[in-house]
Structure 1
Amino acid sequence: MTESTREKVDAAERAALDLANVPEDERNDALYAIADALRERTDEILDANETDVTAAEQAHERGEYSAALVDRLRLDESKVEDIAGMVESVAGQDDPLGRTLSARELDDGLDLYKVSVPIGVVATVFESRPDALVQIAALALKSGNAVILKGGSEASESNRVLYDIITEVADDVSPGWAQLIEAREDVDRLLDMDDSVDLVMPRGSSEFVSYIQDNTQIPVLGHTEGICHVFVDEDADLDMAADVAFDAKVQYPAVCNAVETLLVHESVASEFLPGMVECYRDAGVTLRGDEHTRDIVDIDPVTEDDWDSEYGDLELAVKVVADVYDAVEHVNTHGSKHTESILTENDEHAAVFMQGIDAASVFHNASTRFADGYRYGLGAEVGISTGKTHARGPVGLDGLTTYKYYLEGDGHLVATYSGEDARPFTHEAFDGEWTPGR
């Protein structure tokens, strides 16, 4: 008999209480075992993935799936090795649990500690990339959280094999800590379980994240689209700018941190755009530009919808702007608060852009493609949060923890600090670590 969503969530809830207290070395050993098993079963993973990719390519031919989705779905030996390496990178991160975030003496012998702990049961609904399942599971295990995983149907065969590998080698750590759900209706059932699920992390379009937010009382940490911009300032090193703008679009266009709009200062547009457009065209990029851009280079006209589009493919909108303030206004109007970059040798212009942009990550002289949990040194990420509360930007281990207060006393009474003869609190911060049973 197939387990119901309720049964899976209940199992995860029980496991979360246990996993929160599993020692770091046991969690790390399980992660290294996962990495080894991924390598040993690469052929099995690739066979399952080929089934998914073949079906997705057929759907693409029917116009149901984009080429970018098929690209995100595809695995090879190198990618499986990268996934295994990512799991080991997560294991190598500092333990996010049991860290004393602050310590304060309330009075002599009465000490208050703020200590990091897991969130509990986290649920995630994610897109076609099979590596997302492993990333999320690895981060959940390291951070002591039970996890409910729901991948896209287009990656169902890949996800099943990866889930089986993970649970076969790591379930003994805390049986039931990872659960897989597959049916769309299971997501709706899950959203009603605010009594058991502590956080939902959807990865997808703004419409999808909004749907999740509108249909649950569970806190939602959303990963939405990446409408990212690169701005070439009047004081940019144009050779460097061309390299960065090319990397940001072409290096891997199917991901959320790839650039979708190129902004160019009007004073360098005539010098910069012809060569840049030629490089993009040689790489197969479809270009659309505003009127000023098309006065300089022969590309298709842009539409208003283009400024608000995440292409996820070799497509790019181009606009000529008057100055850095014009660039900031455009980004804040059309961006998705994901990642933005200014290319300039002028530190004042860089400061105006970086401080004026409302986004999770803002770069100076660097490709937007650096917005990634692994590249940030977080080991991996469960997603990139474009919201502002709990966690922002690439969400790694710290984003999967909360905190608990521990108060250590010696028979202290609140009555002592009340009334006419009330004893005053000291409320003095001190350097100290909470340890169990002290």
Structure 2
Amino acid sequence: MEIKEEVRKVKLSAPLLAGMSEEKRNHALQAVAEALISAKEEIFAANAQDMEQAEKDGIAAPVLKRLKFDEGKLHDVTEGIRDLIRLKDPLFQTQLARELDEGLTLYRVTCPIGVIGVIFEARPDALVQISALCIKSGNCVILKGGSEAIRTNKILFQIIHRAVAEAGLPEHSMMLLEARSEITELLECDGYVDLLIPRGSNQFVQYIMNHTRIPVMGHADGICHIYVDKAADIQKAIPIILDAKTQYVSACNTVETLLIHEEIAEKLLPELGKALKEHGVELRGSKAVQELTGCVEATEEDNRKEYLDYIVSARTVKNIREAVDHINYYGSHHTDCIITEDAQAAEEFMMLVDSAGVYQNCSTRFADGYRYGFGAEVGISTGKLHARGPVGLEGLVSYKYKLFGNGQIVGDYASGKKTFHFKDLPLED
């Protein structure tokens, strides 16, 4: 397949999809949900083949868990689609209305980004979520999933693409890449692709950023922290930490490093160490943590490690500022949490920690587009431009300025013949 020519067709479809009404896009989403349910046995059969091959290849258990697409995940993605249908249309929303002069009126109106390329891990449910978000936001999408899920992704794409086309959306509004070599060709399509969102290892994301002129949005690592303050409630702290570590161990919002205020360490660590062990989690700690738990030693490398496994590192800190400095230096600016009953301490932590998500007294696993009510996400951005945190519908739209005049020319204003009066108008008008 000539990738650049196929991507060009997607680009030509982008304005057509951008002009589709909310009713038509929602109708397509409903058709997708119904088609997935109707074809579930076919999907499960393809996934069983992927699972069998992955087990033969010795794929790690956390990856196998992501790879599996069963009744539970089918229910989640179809419910996610229905949630998207209920969400307000992100397009055609007037954000600014301003009369520059009499008869010269400016509007800022939301519109799709255009063509989005998403390269994601071996999670077939991600293909459905990404496709649905792009349909709702009026964006064309180019998808490349992990090779471990190649059969499942292919059948899912075929079902979604057929449903979308039959619902009246442009035939070339979606495209699936299957071979890893096609990623290199995609990176060269800077004239046709408006945004790339890579989801994977730090090394992979850095490779994408360094080998394309297409704007890239995403995150490389998910090194998330929980700081247990001296004013923490231990009965809250332990369940929060266990959930953040074990609820879905291979996720990017799983906690990897614990910072414990030295004044609460003796009360918390023995009980926490026991709870982690009971849940199969290996604790690696600084000297103070070792003395209280008998855990193995943590190294400097552990401060920078995204385990994506049943391992967590811990160290004690003297105060909140030391915790903040550690997070800002070693963290990935993804999601970090303070456990405390001190509102002032929480405010200081949330103000100073430079991350996309800052939490108090809850699991880092809440960092998710679906749990934020965004109708799933295409990824999580740790950057600060355009979109930050879970990227849902709002992160997939841009805007354009529409100026309506009646023969005005700039020369009249440059000469002083006319002047601007800049009058903001009610948005509802």
Q: What range describes the TM-score normalised by the shorter chain of this pair? A: over 0.9
Q: CA deviation at 1:418?
A: 2.2
What are the Cα deviations for residues 55-106 of structure 1, in whole angstroms up to 9, with x where unaligned? 112222xxxx332212211122111111111111122211111001111110
**Alpha-carbon distance in 1 for matches of 2:374, 2:259:** 30
Give the CA RMSD over aligned residues: 1.2
**Alpha-carbon distance in 2 for matches of 1:271, 1:300:** 20
Map residues 36-435 of structure 1 onto 2, 5 A cutoff: 36-60=34-58, 65-171=59-165, 172-419=168-415, 421-432=416-427
Contact 1:228 1:258 in 2 (8 A): yes
**Alpha-carbon distance in 1 for matches of 2:313, 2:39:** 42
**Alpha-carbon distance in 2 for matches of 1:295, 1:217:** 51
Determine which of 16, 19, 22 is the counterpart of 2:20. Answer: 22
**Alpha-carbon distance in 2 for matches of 1:10, 1:286:** 50
Query: Which residue does the alignment assign to 1:4?
Result: 2
Partner amino acid for 1:107? D
Q: How many residues align?
A: 427
**Alpha-carbon distance in 2 for matches of 1:24, 1:195:** 28
**Alpha-carbon distance in 2 for matches of 1:43, 1:262:** 43
What are the Cα deviations for residues 283-318 of structure 1, in whole angstroms up to 9, with x where unaligned? 111111111101111111112111111111211111
**Alpha-carbon distance in 2 for matches of 1:276, 1:111:** 62
Query: Which residue does the alignment assign to 2:33?
Result: 35
**Alpha-carbon distance in 2 for matches of 1:58, 1:284:** 25
**Alpha-carbon distance in 1 for matches of 2:264, 2:105:** 61
What percent of counterpart residues are identical? 46
Q: CA deviation at 1:414?
A: 1.7
SS in 2 for 1:173: coil
**Alpha-carbon distance in 2 for matches of 1:239, 1:367:** 14
Partner amino acid for 2:148? E
Q: CA deviation at 1:224?
A: 2.1
Contact 1:46 1:76 in 2 (8 A): yes
Contact 2:157 2:176 in 1 (8 A): yes
Contact 2:249 2:308 in 1 (8 A): yes
| Structure 1: 5+ residue stretches without partners | none
What are the Cα deviations for residues 385-431 of structure 1, in whole angstroms up to 9, with x where unaligned? 01111111000111111110000112222222121x43110112221
Partner amino acid for 2:198? P
SS in 2 for 1:180: strand
SS in 1 for 2:57: helix
Q: CA deviation at 1:113?
A: 0.4
SS in 1 for 2:378: coil
**Runs of 4+ residues deviating >2 angstroms:** none
**Alpha-carbon distance in 2 for matches of 1:318, 1:59:** 33
| TM-score scaled by length of structure 1 | 0.95
Q: CA deviation at 1:433?
A: 5.2
Q: CA deviation at 1:200?
A: 0.7
Contact 1:103 1:433 in 2 (8 A): no
SS in 2 for 1:22: coil
What are the Cα deviations for residues 160-181 of structure 1, in whole angstroms up to 9, with x where unaligned? 0110110111123111101001
Q: CA deviation at 1:281?
A: 1.0
Partner amino acid for 1:147? V
| Structure 2: 5+ residue stretches without partners | none
**Alpha-carbon distance in 1 for matches of 2:348, 2:417:** 52
Partner amino acid for 2:386? H
**Alpha-carbon distance in 1 for matches of 2:52, 2:317:** 44
Q: CA deviation at 1:361?
A: 0.5
**Alpha-carbon distance in 2 for matches of 1:432, 1:298:** 62
